[in-house]
């Protein structure tokens, strides 16, 4: 069972539609017991870190996610779901889930640079990972964000993107992988990432 976590942070319809295109019926839920028993978890989201974390804690989904992570269940974080997996976010000065050590930082304000970073951009993958297997170097992915994940350990950064600064746009550790961009809105290459995730056993092997 592939579970899509609903913590009132939007972005669910596109994920469900993309899974259907791949022949998979994802179960959207706010029930922590359903999440804790999932065989695969997608953790999407848009919005502010403070409100998202408050909702996760209120619903008990923070502990359910931790249980999944500790059980080795494959987890895919998307956008906000790639930020609040870290220890702390600069947005709203928010303590986060702490599944990965590190901080979520604001994109720098520079003359002529548009924030939020919105639109299509490339990802330079730094190391092989099963979820990003078979993607062409020239592929572009869809971004909408003002913050980005900055894991404490360089080995957790799987891919980087340039927008005023080179920032981590794909991160991962153990059975968790996350993208700052939206695979569900990134055309055929985004679908390939989702398909790869659905086949991934949660290991580090390519």
CATH number, domain with residue 46: 3.40.50.880
91 catalytic residue (yes or no)? no
Cα–Cα distances (Å) from 120 to 10, 139, 182, in that order, read 20, 10, 10
In a domain, 206, yes or no: no
Higher-confidence residue of 47 and 102: namely 102
In a domain, 155, yes or no: yes
Of 117, 145, 163, 182, catalytic = 182
pLDDT for residue 179: 98
- The backbone region for 98, taken as left when phi is positive above 0, alpha when psi lies in -120 to 50, beta otherwise, is left
Of 79, 91, 96, 195, catalytic = 79
88 catalytic residue (yes or no)? no
The average confidence (pLDDT) of the chain is 95
pLDDT for residue 112: 86
CB of 165 closer than 8 Å to CB of 106: no
Banded pLDDT at 167 (limits 50, 70, 90): very high
Tell me: pLDDT of 66 over 80: yes
| Mean local confidence (pLDDT), 121-147 | 97
CB of 142 closer than 8 Å to CB of 190: yes
Of 68, 129, 184, 195, catalytic = 184
pLDDT, tens digit, 9 for 90 and up, residues 142-154: 999 999 999 999 9
pLDDT for residue 9: 80
pLDDT, tens digit, 9 for 90 and up, residues 19-61: 999 999 999 999 999 999 999 999 999 889 999 999 999 999 9
For the ranges 39-43, 77-81, 111-115, 143-147, the lowest mean pLDDT is seen at 111-115
Tell me: pLDDT of 204 over 90: no
In a domain, 32, yes or no: yes
pLDDT for residue 188: 97
CA–CA gap between residue 132 and residue 114 (Å, rounded): 28
In a domain, 205, yes or no: no
| Mean local confidence (pLDDT), 161-169 | 97
In a domain, 15, yes or no: yes
Tally of domains within the chain: 1
Residue written as tokens 């913050």? Answer: 147
pLDDT for residue 153: 97
Which residues make beta-bridge pairs with 89? 94, 104
Tell me: pLDDT of 140 over 60: yes
Token pair belonging to 160: 């980087």
pLDDT for residue 17: 94
pLDDT for residue 166: 97
pLDDT for residue 25: 92
Q: Which helix (H) or strand (E) holds 131?
A: none
Half-sphere exposure in the Cβ direction for 6 (13 Å, CA): 11
182 catalytic residue (yes or no)? yes
Banded pLDDT at 128 (limits 50, 70, 90): very high
Tell me: pLDDT of 205 over 70: no
pLDDT for residue 57: 97
> Which residue range(s) make up the domain with 92?
2-199
């Amino acid at each position: 069972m592939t579970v899509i976590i609903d913590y009132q942070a939007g972005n669910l319809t596109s994920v469900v539609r993309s899974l259907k295109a791949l022949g998979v019926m994802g179960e959207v839920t706010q029930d922590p017991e359903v999440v804790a028993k999932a065989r695969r978890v997608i953790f999407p989201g848009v919005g502010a870190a403070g409100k998202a974390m408050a909702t996760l804690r209120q619903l008990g989904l923070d502990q359910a996610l931790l249980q999944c992570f500790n059980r080795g269940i494959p987890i895919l974080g998307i956008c906000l779901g790639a930020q609040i997996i870290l220890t702390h976010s600069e947005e709203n000065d928010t303590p986060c889930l702490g599944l990965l050590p590190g901080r979520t930082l604001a994109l720098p304000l520079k003359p002529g640079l548009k924030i939020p970073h919105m639109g299509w951009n490339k990802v330079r993958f730094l190391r092989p990972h099963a979820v990003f297997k078979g993607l062409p170097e020239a592929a572009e992915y869809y971004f909408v964000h003002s913050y980005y994940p900055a894991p404490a350990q360089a080995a957790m950064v799987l891919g980087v993107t340039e927008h005023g600064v080179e920032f981590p746009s794909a991160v991962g550790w153990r059975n968790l992988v996350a993208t700052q961009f939206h695979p569900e809105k990134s055309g055929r290459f985004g679908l390939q990432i989702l398909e790869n995730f659905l086949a991934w056993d949660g290991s580090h092997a390519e």
